[in-house]
Structure formats: C-alpha cells, structure tokens
Amino acid sequence: MRISVSCDDRDNTDAKACSAGSIISIAVSWPEKQNTAQGQVNDARCAFNADPNRACVVKEVTL
C-alpha cells in the first residue's frame, strides 16, 4: 500500500507552499491483480512511480 499527499497551490506568488484555497490530494493505492476476463480502466492518478497496475482512492480537499 502507498500513500501520496500533494498540493495544487492556488497562489504561487506568496511565501506559503500551500495557500488557503489550494487543493490537497490524498491518494491511497495498492497493487491490482490483473484479470484478463474483465476490462480494466487505468486511472493516471493511481500510477505511482510509473507503476500503472495499481488501484487507488483519491480524496481532494480544498483548504
């Protein structure tokens, strides 16, 4: 299992790294077992460290 936290800073001109109004993304991912009998939809947000075979849950929070 992997956890990733990132911030899409709304105001890059101030000294704060993650200003009020910015979006915080929290992702939890785990290896996905491939099943050739079912179609698989890959979400780019789940591909951590260039490993596309992961399932994940992403929660976005606005500060």
Domain extent for 50: 2-62
Does residue 1 have a pLDDT over 90?
A: no
Spatial separation of the C-alpha atoms in residues 2 and 10, rounded to whole Å = 26
Spatial separation of the C-alpha atoms in residues 36 and 14, rounded to whole Å = 49
Q: What is the pLDDT of residues 13-61, one digit of tens each?
A: 888 889 899 999 999 988 877 665 555 556 677 766 667 677 889 999 9
Strands lying side by side in the sheet with 23-31:
2-8, 23-31, 54-62
Higher pLDDT, 62 or 53: 62
Count the domains in the chain. Answer: 1
Q: Pull the structure tokens for residue 8.
A: 């899409």
Spatial separation of the C-alpha atoms in residues 55 and 17, rounded to whole Å = 29
pLDDT of 31 reads 84
The answer, as to whether pTM is greater than 0.95, is: no
CA nearest neighbour of 45 among 35, 34, 33, 60: 60
